[in-house]
Amino acid sequence: MNKLVNLSILFFGTPEFALPALGALIKNGYGIVGVITRPDERVGRKQILTPPPVKILAEHHGIPVFQPERLDARDFAAGKIPRADLFIVAAYGKIIPKDILEIPQYGALNIHPSLLPRWRGPSPIQYTILNGDTETGVTIMKMDEKMDHGPIVSSIKYQVSSIKIIYRELHDELAKAGAKLLIETLPLYLDGKITPVPQDDAQATYSKILTRDDGRIDWQKSADGIERMIRAFTPWPGAWTLWPTGEKILRVRIEKAEQISAGGALQAGGPGFVRTEKNNPIVARTGDGFLAAQRIGVEGKKITDADSFLRGYPQVIGASFI
């Protein structure tokens, strides 16, 4: 118990995923000597300088915040950034060098939203949905110099509650599960009652940083695969397609869709060809099956239901998405 009372923690995190973990540490009385987060970024069309969510929460509780452009062990040695007994990392978004990971007595624990070694890397939640995984979870691992490679301290399984779960829902569920697991794990870990288990590298799979281009829909793929992609990639990088209208090429975003069976009237045309039917105003053919758009919009304009989109763009029927 004395270890918990006297323990000093330096928390590394940036986006909303890290908030439940930081909040749980604060609620449970852990001594957080500082928070390291990424620098403020300009956001939106007006490019408003916006602080990371973790910075806002930390400052609300009077916790010192540090936002280095790059991490340097010399800043710790010089006292510019406080040293601590333990580092807790949750979606920090930057590589932490080995010489910094070696500073704390109890090492650095990372909260990762997958069952490692499956989906190492920066986008595990999106890849879980994209690949149709029915089971995922959260892993707490002791960090080493390799990405998501360190030994596993604890983990919890999470059954994907719905075959139609979207990114935001799974993100929030795993963030809460990670915070709960952290609070359950820390006393056991600090008392030496947990022996971290090395990962099986042969079983490792990897996610990558998602770019805007990753969101482009390939209509040659199956309707099932495209529907999963839409759920995984909304809001970022978004699922989008191009629509040549004759006058110009429009970029169209699809935020919700459903795989449907279709009768003979929809069989014409190749992948990307758009038709309509009674209960589904906008139906696109894919390489295997048909996809009914339910939330759709031209980029830069409001996303609407399919009926509203069709009223605004009736010429989409008979066109082809590419």
Q: Which CATH superfamily is domain 2-203 in?
A: Formyl transferase, N-terminal domain (3.40.50.170)
Contact by Cβ (8 Å): 280, 241:
no
* Percentage of residues of the chain with pLDDT beyond 90: 91
Question: Is residue 1 over pLDDT 50?
Answer: no
Q: What is the pLDDT of residue 4?
A: 66
Question: Is residue 164 over pLDDT 60?
Answer: yes
Residues 81-106 have pLDDT tens digits of 999 999 999 999 999 999 999 999 99
**Whole-prediction pTM:** 0.94
């959260």: which residue's tokens? 138
Contact by Cβ (8 Å): 116, 124:
no
What's 277's DSSP letter?
A: E
How does residue 264 score in pLDDT terms, banded at 50, 70 and 90? low
Long-range contact set of residues 135-138: C-beta below 8 Å, sequence gap at least 24: 135/159, 135/160, 136/160, 136/170, 136/174, 137/174, 137/177, 138/111, 138/112, 138/113, 138/114, 138/174, 138/177, 138/178, 138/181
Residues 295-310 have pLDDT tens digits of 999 999 999 999 999 9
* Distance, CA of 84 to CA of 103 (rounded, Å): 8
Find, among 274, 269, 319, 265, the residue nearest to 292 by Cα: 274
Residues in the chain: 322
Question: Is residue 11 over pLDDT 80?
Answer: yes
Contact by Cβ (8 Å): 266, 316:
no
Question: Is residue 77 over pLDDT 70?
Answer: yes
How does residue 267 score in pLDDT terms, banded at 50, 70 and 90? low
Domain ranges in the chain are: 2-203, 212-316
Return mean pLDDT, the chain. 95
How does residue 278 score in pLDDT terms, banded at 50, 70 and 90? confident
Longest dimension (CA), the chain: 73
Average pLDDT over residues 269-275: 94
Q: What is the pLDDT of residue 92?
A: 97
212-316 belongs to which CATH class?
A: alpha beta
Average pLDDT over residues 98-124: 98
